[in-house]
Structure 1
Amino acid sequence: MKHEELKERVSNILRNHNVGTLATVKNNKPHTRYMTFQHDENLTLFTPTNKETYKAEEIDGNPFVHILIGYEGEGSGDAYLEIQGQAQIREDQDIKTRIWNEHMKHWFDGKEDPEYIVLEIFPETIRLMNDSEDTPEQLDM
């Protein structure tokens, strides 16, 4: 698959799946949890969280993360992504406002809540899995 075609297939999976797992590292061991994700045209991912969470502390200590997203639970043949990258904690209001949605009111007092932060994840490698007999295919960023 050509680079642009692969990038479009990756983007399509991200558009159609906003829940995945985010793994961080704590004491040299993986720590994984489900998160919601948004992405931009560069395939940079964004996920909201509280600044007083383990994941924020873990990313401060080690920015490398791993994400699984796209699997639908149907079994073999479900296309999904394995994403390796680095995360950065963002507290600037522009990003917080851009990814805010009303469902987040369950956890935050609003987009200006000082506890509300955004993890911005810069993929280094994205592997498209189970898409065809040609997969896995790797997109290096």
Structure 2
Amino acid sequence: MTHHDDAKHVWDMMEKIGLCMLATADGQNIRARPMAAHVDHRERMVYFLTDAASHKDEEIARNPSVCLAFADPSGNDYVSVSGHAQVSNDRAKIRDLFSTPAKAWWDDAEDPSIRVLKVQPSEAQYWEGSGRVVSFAKMLVAAVSDSRPDLGDNAKVRL
């Protein structure tokens, strides 16, 4: 793949997986929590809805460097994205992103505690496998032979 193809592939994988672990720095510790990602390839941004009272917003204000870890274990597909985050009160964007799953946390898009978390990715690394069963079989064959398993594609990509 070319760099452009790899970058598009990363965006496609993030969009397909949809959920990720958002990792932020909390002093010397790294904290991660699951988040529903709104991937916008055109804008080259990943958006999240968050609550103004959450600790992640405070952590991002102190250190905007974040990691997004997307995983689809059933397909052995993984994407790790490094980027910079910013929290805003962009009400139009909040209304645009608000969907049925968000109702688990807020009654409607006009809830004053909702914020939009915007992540601008800078680089990513992906691992794409051939599925859990096939990968297990390849590892089993490699374990009883002198070979190493080919578990799929891997690339580091500038976004």
Look up the match of 1:33: 33
Give percent identity, aligned residues only. 24
SS of 1:9's partner is helix
Deviation at 1:120, TM superposition (A): 0.2
Q: Distance in 1 between matches of 2:109 and 2:93?
A: 10
Q: Do the aligned residues in 1 keep the contact of 2:95 with 2:109 (CA within 8 Å)? A: yes
Equivalent position to 2:121, from 120, 123, 135: 123
Matched, 1:112 2:126: no
Q: 1:6-52: CA deviations, max 9, x gaps?
A: 12211221221111101000012100111110111243100111010
The one-letter code sitting in structure 1 at the alignment partner of 2:9 is R
Q: Do the aligned residues in 1 keep the contact of 2:82 with 2:124 (CA within 8 Å)? A: yes
Look up the match of 1:91: 89
The one-letter code sitting in structure 2 at the alignment partner of 1:35 is M
Pair member with larger Rg: 2
Q: Distance in 1 between matches of 2:153 and 2:88?
A: 34
SS of 2:120's partner is strand
The two structures have a TM-score, normalised by structure 1, of 0.89
Query: Matched residue pairs, number?
Result: 138
Look up the match of 2:24: 24
Which deviates more, 84-93 or 128-137?
Answer: 128-137
Q: 1:35-85: CA deviations, max 9, x gaps?
A: 11011124310011101001011111111101110x2223xx612111001
Matched, 1:72 2:90: no
Please tell me the root mean square deviation across aligned C-alpha atoms, in Å: 1.8
Which deviates more, 26-35 or 100-109?
Answer: 100-109
Q: Do the aligned residues in 2 keep the contact of 1:50 with 1:115 (CA within 8 Å)? A: yes
The one-letter code sitting in structure 1 at the alignment partner of 2:83 is G
Q: Distance in 1 between matches of 2:103 and 2:112?
A: 13
Look up the match of 1:13: 13
Look up the match of 1:52: 53
Deviation at 1:131, TM superposition (A): 4.8
The two structures have a TM-score, normalised by structure 2, of 0.79
Q: Distance in 1 between matches of 2:14 and 2:24?
A: 20
Q: Distance in 1 between matches of 2:68 and 2:109?
A: 25
Gaps of 5+ in 2: 131-149
Q: Do the aligned residues in 1 keep the contact of 2:7 with 2:158 (CA within 8 Å)? A: no
Q: Distance in 2 between matches of 1:111 and 1:66?
A: 26
